Amino acid sequence: MKKLAVVLMLVLGAPIALASTVEEKAKQSLEMWEPNEVRVDGESLTVISKERRITDQIYRAMIVSGLCMGTIPRPNSLDEVSEIRILNQFGRQGYVFEGGTEECEEINNMPANETEVYVLGRTHMHTNQ
């Protein structure tokens, strides 16, 4: 009976544990930007910044220098993520990067002068629903 309870806890708690691991690693990687909130909603990693407005420079820096260079050394940290939302302090304005681990690996393996075009090519504006 105890084994069944342990198995159930592991199975039911796995998605929560995975989300908190991604959130923790993302928070560590974005520490210099001091985000107000980092959360995982399904396959979306959402970062609520302390900024009133997210510029394309802030967005690219958080993706390239923060999340991609910061989390990739930690294995599988963005495996379950298919998009990264970088939003202002109100969660109303920002950008969405369509990608996760594979796209970050591509960014890390390309020359620095090519990353801007690559990131912007996988980006769309955030719109409230």
Look up residue 26 and give its two tokens: 């993302």
Say which residue, 23 or 4, is predicted with more confidence. 23
C-alpha span between 93 and 55 (Å, rounded): 10
Provide the whole-model pTM: 0.80
pLDDT tops 60 at residue 84 = yes
Q: How far is CA 112 from CA 8, 14, 19, 117, 118, in A?
A: 46, 36, 30, 10, 10
- Give per-residue pLDDT as tens, 45-75: 999 999 999 999 999 999 999 999 865 455 4
CA–CA distance, 73 with 126 (Å, rounded to integer): 28
Asked whether the predicted pLDDT for residue 2 surpasses 70, the reply is no
